[in-house]
Amino acid sequence: MPERNAPRKTLESWKQIAAYLDRSERTVRRWESEEGLPVHRREHQKQDTVFAYTHEVEAWARRHTRLPEALAAPVEAPEVAVANSYLTEHDAITRTMHCYIAGARAGDSGVMRPAFHTDATISGFCLGVEYGGSVRHVFEWIDANGPAPRIQARFARIEIIHTIAVVHLEVEHWSGKLAGADAHASDVFTLLKVGGEWKITHKLFHWHQLGAG
């Protein structure tokens, strides 16, 4: 944390923030809305402008990961090294999760299968009934339910620890033959990095009753 009166380096636009993180503007906008990337706004008569403090961006990245000692050790620019390592793994994990989301939205298990480990399992509750077993039950349900085009998925948490990760996903506006008109599911996924790729090993879920929190 910088001293109270020390000058703070600022990034004065989405373009500068994206360039600093070496990602697209679309990606950093999504991180700001879904994962709390610290972006500030200045109000103007016609259109607000955005800015970010580099020390806050670096602190945000550090809070989202735990790294091996070799990566966490001081180097020429430790904050940047930590941030870049986290962002690389974060992007790979979200790609895996978006594969799952796309399959759910399309009602096609074939789309989401590449996101899962071959031995993946599930457990959870749906309308008060406990379920568990192989992930094939998810695939069968997705195919039977059909498309759910209004699905909205929100990443509530992503934690990366070396070669394992935990993702908390809130999925709203489920629809389809089995889901009904407007259902909501809370999912917690564990992932394992296998052969350089992140794969879902377990899906833990709670299917909310309609009209319940």
| Domain ranges within the chain, ordered by starting residue | 1-62, 90-208
Instruction: Please tell me whether residue 56 adopts helix, strand or coil conformation.
Output: helix
pLDDT in tens, 15-70: 888 888 878 888 888 888 888 888 888 877 677 788 888 888 888 776 655 545 54
CATH topology of domain 90-208: Nuclear Transport Factor 2; Chain: A, (3.10.450)
For residue 187, pLDDT over 50 is answered with yes
75, pLDDT greater than 60: no
DSSP 80-97: HHHHHHHHHHHHHHHHHH
Q: What is the mean pLDDT of the chain?
A: 84
For position 66, what pLDDT does the model report?
A: 52
Burial of 83 (0-12, 13-18, 19+ CB in 10 A): buried
**Phi/psi at 6 (nearest 5 deg)?**
-75, 145
